[in-house]
Structure 1
Amino acid sequence: MNRIAIVDDSEINLTLLKHLVLKLGDCEPLLFSDSPQGLAWCAGNDPDLIIVDYMMPELDGISFIERLRAVPGHEELPILMITANDDKEVRYEALARGATDFLTKPVDTAEFRARVRNMLALRASQRRLSNRNQELAEEVRLATAEIHAREQELLFRMSRAAEFRDPETGAHIQRMAHYSALIAGRLGLDAATQELLLQAAPMHDVGKIGIPDYILLKPGRLTPEEFELMKNHARLGYELLHGSSSRILQAGAEIALAHHEKFDGSGYPQNLVGEAIPLFGRIVAVADVFDALTSERPYKKAWDLDRAALFLKVNCGSHFDPACVEAFFAAWDEALAIRERFHDEEVPLL
C-alpha cells in the first residue's frame, strides 16, 4: 500500500485530491490542512509521495519542501507541488529547493494519474535500490567477517607453531592474550584497541621458531651464552612480523620486540626505559609473566596465585610498569575467570 501525504489548506482541494488518489488503487491518502502539522508528520515518517500546495498560510509549499529536504533520509522522497501560479520563477525556485514535479490548478485527472504513477514508480525504484544496497552491505559485512575469522585462525595457528617447539601450551597464549586485553581495558583503552591487543598478543613469542631445540627445550637453567641466543627470539619475531600492511601483524611485531623490556631499562633487546617501551609491550610483559609463573612446565611447578601476585608487586617499577600492574589487580576477579576458562588441555580458537 502506497502512502500519499496531501498537504493543502483548502478542504475542497483535500477532498478532490483524496478522491483522485483513491481511484488509483493500492494507495492510502493522508490529509493535512495545516502545513506545519503535515511537515511534522512527513519528517517523522516515510511516505511514498507528498502532494503539497504552493499557496498556504504559515508555511508555503516552497518553505515546506526546503525544510523537509533538510531532514536526514528525506532528500530523495518524491514531492509533487500543485500551484495555480504559472510564473516560471516560482517553479525554478521550487525546483531549486527540492520539488520533484508540478501540477497546475485546475488539476487535470489524466495528468494527475500519470504524474502520480510515475512518481510512485520512482519511489519504488529508490526503495529497491536502497534494499539492494543494504543487501550488498550485509554481504560485504559477512564476507569481511569470514576473512577476519580466517585471518584470526591463521594467526592463532602461527602463534601455536612457536608453542609446539616450546614447553608452553596453546592455552597459555589464550590466557595471556585475554589478560592483556583486560589490562588494556582497565587502562582506559577503547574497545577496538583492546580487541587489537587480544589478537596480536598471541604472537609475542613467534620468534622462538628460530631458536635451537637444545636451548628451547633445555630442562635446566640456561648458561649465559645460551640465554644470549634465547634472547634473539624477540628480534626474530619482530623481523618475521614487521612490514606487514595488517594492523594485527604490526602490533604483533611491536609486542614481539618489546615484551621482554623492563621498566628500569634492564630488559632486552633494546634496554628501553619506562614509557619508551611501547604500551602493548608493557601490558603483555605483565600478562605473560603472570601466566608463565602460574603454569606448570616440565622444568618447574606452577606457583600459587599469592606467590605470583607478590612477584608482580615486588617487581612493580623495576620489571613492570606500575600502571599495568595496578590495572591487572584492579581486574583480579576477571583475571581468575580467564584462568579458569582456558585450561591447558582445552584450547579454543577464540
Structure 2
Amino acid sequence: MSEQATVLVVDDNSDNIDVLNGILRPFYKIKAALNGELALKIANGKQKPDLILLDVMMPGMDGHEVCRRLKASPVTSNIPVIFVTAKTEIADEESGFALGAVDYITKPVSVPIVQARVKTQLALYNQQRELEKKVKERTKALENTRAQIIRRLGRAAEFKDNETGMHVIRMSYYSKFLADEINANSDWAELLFDAAPMHDIGKIGIADNIILKPSKLNDDEWKEMQRHVEYGAEILGNDDSPLLSLAVEVCLYHHEKFDGSGYPHQLKGKNIPLSARIVAIADVFDALTSERPYKEAWSIEQAFTYITEQSGKHFDPDLIEPFKNCLERIKEVMVKYADEHERATFGNM
C-alpha cells in the first residue's frame, strides 16, 4: 500500500489493546477503542480504518453487535473485521463469519499469526478496491448510458407535477454530495446518485385531477397522493439489481420523518434507511430553493434555516451539518442546472 494502513483495535481490556498495539505499531497506524460505541464512532469518522480487530465479549455492546452495525451501514460495510476472542467453539466462529467477519484470531494471541492475518486481509482489501476500480473504469460507458436512462425516467414523473425539469438532477447531486460528506461507501454514493431521480416516479400513477389540482387536497385525495410511494415501488418492481433495490428503498421511505410522523409506515429515527434520510433533505432543499407556480424560490439561507429547524423532526440531526458543508458544491449545481427562468438569478450568485 502507498501509505501506512490504519488498524482499529477494539477491546474493553486496555492490556489486550497494548499487546496488539505492540505487535502491529511497527507496520501500521493504530487506533484504539475500549467499547463498541466508541469503535462505531471512529469507524464512521473522516479517517476510516482499513481494518478492525474486534473483541467479542465486551460489556454493553458486544463485538457481534458492533460487527452487525458496521456491516449494515454503507459507510462502514466494506471495512474488513477480524474477531479477536477467547471464545474458541466452532459455533462461535460460525456466528462471527455469518455476521461478515473475514477472520478469527483466538486469545492469547500469537505474534506471527496476528501479523500474518492482518497483512493478508489488508492485502485482500486493497486488491478488492483495485479490482472494483478497474471494473468501474471498464463499465463507465455502460453506467453513463444507464444513468441517462434513469434520469430521464425520473424526469417523466415531473411532467405530472408542478416540479421543474431540472429538479431531479439537482437533488440527485445534493444526495451524492451528502453521502460523500458522511464518508459513505463511494460505490453506494454513486448508486444513490442514480437512484435518487426515481424518488417520485410513482406520481405517474396519480390521477391528473389530483396531482394537478390547484387548490388544497381533501382527505381522500391526500391519501391517494401519498400512495405515489407505493406506486413507485410497484413500477420499479422486485429486482435483485443493487440500483433498482436502492431506488425502491428511496421511493418507499423518502417521505418518512425522523420523529415518526411521516408516511407510509411512520418509521422513526435510524429505522428509516439512510438513503431515504439523505434524499429527504436533498428533495426538500431543492423544492424550497426552486420557483414554483404557487411560490417564489427561497434563498439558500432561508432553506438552510428551515432544514436546521426541522432537525430531529423531519430530518436526521446527524445529517444537517454535513449537508451544510456541501454548500459550495450545491451552489455550483444550482447554477449549472438552473431552470431556464432562473438562470439570470443564479448567474449572479
User: TM range, normalised to the smaller chain?
Assistant: 0.5 to 0.7
Match of 2:280 in 1: 285
The verdict on how the C-alpha distance between 1:278 and 1:175 changes in structure 2, with shifts beyond 3 A counting, is same
Separation of aligned partners in 2, 1:329 and 1:141: 30
What amino acid is the match of 2:231? Answer: L
- The alignment's C-alpha RMSD in Å is 2.0
Match of 2:166 in 1: 171
What amino acid is the match of 1:246? Answer: S
Separation of aligned partners in 1, 2:241 and 2:255: 23
What amino acid is the match of 1:197? Answer: L
Equivalenced residues, count: 208
Alpha-carbon shift at residue 244 of structure 1 (Å): 1.5
What amino acid is the match of 1:291? Answer: D
Alpha-carbon shift at residue 144 of structure 1 (Å): 3.7
Match of 2:249 in 1: 254
Separation of aligned partners in 1, 2:276 and 2:210: 24
Separation of aligned partners in 2, 1:332 and 1:150: 29
Q: Does 1:207 align with 2:186?
A: no
The verdict on how the C-alpha distance between 1:213 and 1:195 changes in structure 2, with shifts beyond 3 A counting, is same
The verdict on how the C-alpha distance between 1:142 and 1:311 changes in structure 2, with shifts beyond 3 A counting, is closer
What amino acid is the match of 1:194? Answer: A
Match of 1:266 in 2: 261
Aligned identity (percent) is 45
Separation of aligned partners in 2, 1:202 and 1:235: 16
What amino acid is the match of 1:168? Answer: E
8 Å CA contact 1:220–1:299 kept in 2: the answer is: no
TM-score w.r.t. the length of structure 2 is: 0.57
Q: Structure 2 matches for 1:76-155, cutoff 5 A?
A: 144-155=139-150
Separation of aligned partners in 1, 2:171 and 2:268: 23
Contiguous gaps of at least 5 residues in structure 2? 1-134, 342-349
For residue 180 of structure 1, the aligned residue among 175, 180, 184 is 175
SS at match of 1:160: helix
Alpha-carbon shift at residue 185 of structure 1 (Å): 0.9
Match of 1:339 in 2: 334
Deviations 1:276-307 (A, max 9, x none): 00000000000000100111111222122222
Q: Does 1:220 align with 2:215?
A: yes
Alpha-carbon shift at residue 150 of structure 1 (Å): 2.5
8 Å CA contact 1:204–1:256 kept in 2: the answer is: yes
* Bigger radius of gyration: 1
Match of 1:324 in 2: 319
SS at match of 1:170: coil
Match of 2:293 in 1: 298
Match of 2:185 in 1: 190
TM-score w.r.t. the length of structure 1 is: 0.56
Alpha-carbon shift at residue 143 of structure 1 (Å): 7.6
8 Å CA contact 2:253–2:272 kept in 1: the answer is: yes
Separation of aligned partners in 2, 1:180 and 1:340: 17
Alpha-carbon shift at residue 233 of structure 1 (Å): 0.4
8 Å CA contact 2:289–2:298 kept in 1: the answer is: yes
